[in-house]
């Protein structure tokens, strides 16, 4: 059994989502957001750090997946996003957790099948894949999508590492 923590970093709202893989079945564990609404950036970064640390301590995930920073039109926004991402990564690194990084395009491609999918499509597909009936906050859905992307990637990589190549339904 493997538990994966997905993180969608944001300087004011950071999404998190946890899934569990057991016997090739993926199940939903929890999701939500860490709200860091203080005007002072260092205080927001501290809230993100402590929030991720608390979630990781509570659920004891085996691995984590986080979305990479993409370039914004506003460089200041990109820098703040990078700092929020850094706070989350340091919280996980302090727990000596394996951390995988994925671009937004990789996550969307893995979950929706289309790298330019919008947030609504991602949220709907996450709910479908995890068989959730309740709506999810956008940031939580994006974090769950990162966790699902990692689950799919690690499954593919495990097959390659074990020397398996899948072609036309046959194992070679």
Catalytic residues: 8, 67, 139
157 and 149 Cβ atoms separated by less than 8 Å: no
CB atoms within 10 A of CB 83: 17
| Cα angle 28-53-4, degrees, rounded to a multiple of 5 | 30
Name the maximum alpha-carbon separation found in the chain. Answer: 57
83 and 41 Cβ atoms separated by less than 8 Å: yes
Cα–Cα distance for residue pair 11/85, rounded to 1 Å: 8
How far does the chain reach from its first CA to its final CA, in angstroms? 26
143 and 15 Cβ atoms separated by less than 8 Å: yes
């Amino acid at each position: 059994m493997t538990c994966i923590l997905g993180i969608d970093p944001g300087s004011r709202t950071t999404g998190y989502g946890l899934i569990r893989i057991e016997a090739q079945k993926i199940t939903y564990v929890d999701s939500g957001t860490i709200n860091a609404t203080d005007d002072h950036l260092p205080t927001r970064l501290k809230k993100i750090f402590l929030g991720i640390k608390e979630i990781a301590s509570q659920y004891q995930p085996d691995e984590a997946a986080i979305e990479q920073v993409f370039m914004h039109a506003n460089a200041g926004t990109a820098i703040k996003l990078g700092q929020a991402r850094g706070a989350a990564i340091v919280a996980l690194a302090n727990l000596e957790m394996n951390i995988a990084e994925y671009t937004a395009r990789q996550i969307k491609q893995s979950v929706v099948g289309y790298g330019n999918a919008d947030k609504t499509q991602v949220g709907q597909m996450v709910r479908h894949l995890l068989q959730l009936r309740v709506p999810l906050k956008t940031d939580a859905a994006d974090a769950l999508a990162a966790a699902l992307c990692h689950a799919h990637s690690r499954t593919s990589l495990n097959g390659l590492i074990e020397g398996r190549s899948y072609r036309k339904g046959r194992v070679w």
